[in-house]
């Protein structure tokens, strides 16, 4: 099946018992058990079923299965937010005294949470992830994982995933990719060698910005060395599912990072149109980028135009488009604010991946906690506006930007 068909037909949809065409919202905290023996089996991973929604729930499981299919992994764990997914995905691997290598070009919240990890004795080395020498120089005997975004938010650098995965694996390290900005519509990191994929499903997967959530999808391919990753030893009996089993029986369950069933329901509906929305939003973004690029006093950054340093990598790594986010530099913070205030269609919102076009000044908001050095490395400047392009008629967006410029 091709992309859109697979989204609609790869899983049994709806409710087998009643024939309802959508998976019902199992708005229940807990589940009746048929016997004490059955309940014991459930708690010892010897039977399938549901016990308590913090661990699993049928609506959430339906969403997890759809995400697994979408990302071509073997299992997924749905979380309360993208940040919960990133936190759980990494802390399932790394212990006190160990290190993470992460791209300098990350979502501001991710940079912040890596700093939070320091209080628990976990250090993150931020490097230019496209610079092999810098990555290799940062690897020590304490390194346990490499983390990057497929398209960095908001630097919009496109990572050569296959190359980075090869480098990580040569050092016995797993590669965890945040695929929020690209989505599986543009690239499936697991197919290119990434070991674990996280998505903030608050964005394009949900699609309508009606709920916060995230998801972790495992490829099942990484071979966890028992001495290097002693926490995995107990779960080796789950074979390729060791990573997911450890997480669901450990940190995910015990920190209570679960998704709400209602959110899973919204996401199941939203993701049916992921392909259509991405197709339109990516086409709009390309047209808007080309239009804005015609102004001499605007610097456009978009992987889909030849002036982007990542255009060549984008052509190799991304399918079907170049993403729906672009950034522009307009010369000064004052001019950026004026432009944002004059635009009528794009709304000032700290979000991406909505049906509507959203704009933000990252330097004064999302990256407010970053140091000057971190901002520069993340491609954040005080004259920069990030535009998350929606599915409007692009002619209206172009007219709006033209009159704001005038």
Ligand X SMILES: *Cc1c(COP(=O)(O)O)cnc(C)c1O
> Among residues 73 and 214, whose Cβ is nearest to ligand X?
214
Q: What separation in angstroms does the CA of 363 have from each of 104, 329, 376? A: 15, 12, 10
Which one, of 112, 107, 110, 105, lies nearest residue 130 by Cα?
A: 105
Torsion of CA 71, 178, 259, 123, to 10 degrees: 140
Should residue 178 be labelled a site residue for ligand X when binding is judged by CB under 6 A? yes
Contacting ligand X (CB under 6 A), which of 71, 98, 99, 149?
149
- CB closer to ligand X out of 42 and 92: 92
Smallest gap from residue 107 Cβ to ligand X (A): 4
The count of other CB atoms within 10 Å of the CB of residue 116 is 10
User: What is the x/- site pattern for ligand X, positions 300-339, by CB under 6 A?
Assistant: ----------------------------------------
What is the C-alpha to C-alpha distance for residues 386 and 283, in angstroms, rounded to an integer?
17
Out of 57, 88, 124, 200, the residue judged to bind ligand X by CB under 6 A: 200
> 375 Cβ partners below 8 Å, 6+ apart?
363, 367, 381
Report how far Cα 119 is from the mean position of its chain's Cα atoms. Answer: 25
Minimum separation from the CB atom of position 349 to ligand X (A): 12
Which of 26, 50, 63, 107 binds ligand X (CB under 6 A)? It is 107
Q: Is 87 a residue that touches ligand X (CB under 6 A)? A: no
β-pairing, 325-329 vs 384-388, is antiparallel
**Greatest CA span in the chain, whole angstroms?**
73
Binding flag, residue 212, ligand X (CB under 6 A): yes
- Tell me which stretch binds ligand X (CB under 6 A): 176-184, 284-292, 303-311, 331-339: 176-184
The stretch near ligand X (CB under 6 A) out of 104-112, 265-273, 336-344, 366-374 is: 104-112
CB of 258 to ligand X, least distance (A): 14
> Which part of the chain contacts ligand X (CB under 6 A), choosing from 75-83, 132-140, 259-267, 275-283?
75-83
| Closest approach of ligand X to the CB of residue 81, in Å | 3
Residue span binding ligand X (CB under 6 A) among the ranges 26-34, 80-88, 112-120, 160-168: 80-88
3-class DSSP state for residue 395? helix
Neighbour count for residue 308 (Cβ, 10 Å): 20
User: Which is nearer to ligand X, 111 or 343 (by Cβ)?
Assistant: 111
Q: Are 50 and 58 in contact (CB under 8 A)?
A: yes
The site map against ligand X for 213-232 (x = CB under 6 A) is -x------------------
Write phi, then psi, for 100 (nearest 5 degrees). -115, 145
Cis omega (within 30 of 0) for bond into 93: no
Tell me: does residue 202 bind ligand X (CB under 6 A): yes
Give the Å distances, CA to CA, from 400 to 88, 194, 302, 339, 393. Answer: 41, 40, 19, 10, 11
Distance CA 19, CA 9 (A): 15
Contact residues toward ligand X (CB under 6 A) are 81-83, 107, 109-110, 149, 153, 178, 180-181, 200, 202-203, 212, 214, 352
């Amino acid at each position: 099946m091709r992309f859109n068909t697979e989204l609609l037909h790869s899983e049994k949809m709806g409710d087998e018992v009643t024939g309802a065409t959508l998976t019902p919202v199992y708005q229940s905290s807990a589940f009746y058990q048929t016997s004490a023996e059955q309940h014991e089996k459930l708690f010892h991973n010897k039977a399938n079923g549901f016990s308590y929604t913090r661990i699993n729930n049928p609506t959430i499981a339906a969403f997890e299965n759809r995400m697994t299919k979408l990302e071509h992994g073997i299992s997924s764990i749905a979380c309360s937010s993208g940040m919960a997914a990133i936190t759980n995905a990494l802390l399932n691997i790394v212990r006190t005294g160990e290190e993470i290598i992460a791209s300098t070009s990350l979502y501001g919240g991710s940079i912040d949470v890596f700093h939070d990890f320091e209080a628990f004795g976990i250090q993150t080395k931020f490097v230019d992830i496209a610079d092999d020498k810098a990555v290799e120089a940062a690897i020590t005997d304490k390194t346990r994982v490499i983390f990057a975004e497929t398209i960095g938010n908001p630097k919009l650098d496109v990572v050569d995933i296959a190359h980075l995965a090869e480098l990580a694996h040569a050092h016995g390290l797993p590669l965890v990719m945040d695929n929020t900005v690209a989505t599986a519509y543009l690239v499936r990191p697991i197919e290119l060698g990434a070991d674990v994929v996280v998505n903030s499903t608050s964005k394009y997967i949900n699609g309508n910005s009606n709920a916060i959530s995230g998801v972790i999808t495992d490829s099942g391919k990484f071979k966890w060395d028992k001495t290097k990753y002693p926490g995995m030893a107990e779960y080796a009996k789950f074979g390729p599912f060791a990573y997911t089993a450890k997480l669901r029986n450990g940190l995910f369950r015990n920190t209570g990072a679960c998704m709400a069933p209602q959110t899973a329901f919204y996401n199941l509906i939203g993701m049916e149109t992921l392909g259509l929305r991405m197709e339109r939003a990516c086409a709009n973004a390309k047209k808007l980028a080309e239009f804005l690029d015609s102004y001499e006093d605007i610097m456009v950054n978009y992987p889909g135009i030849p002036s982007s340093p990542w255009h060549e990598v984008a052509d190799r790594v991304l399918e079907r488009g170049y993403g729906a986010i672009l950034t522009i530099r307009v010369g000064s913070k004052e001019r950026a604010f004026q432009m944002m205030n004059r635009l009528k269609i794009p709304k000032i919102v700290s979000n991406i991946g909505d049906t509507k076009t959203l704009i933000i000044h990252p330097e004064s908001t999302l990256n407010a906690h970053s140091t000057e050095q971190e901002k520069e490395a993340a491609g954040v400047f005080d004259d920069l506006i990030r535009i998350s392009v929606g599915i409007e008629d692009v002619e209206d967006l172009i007219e709006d930007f033209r009159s704001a410029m005038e």
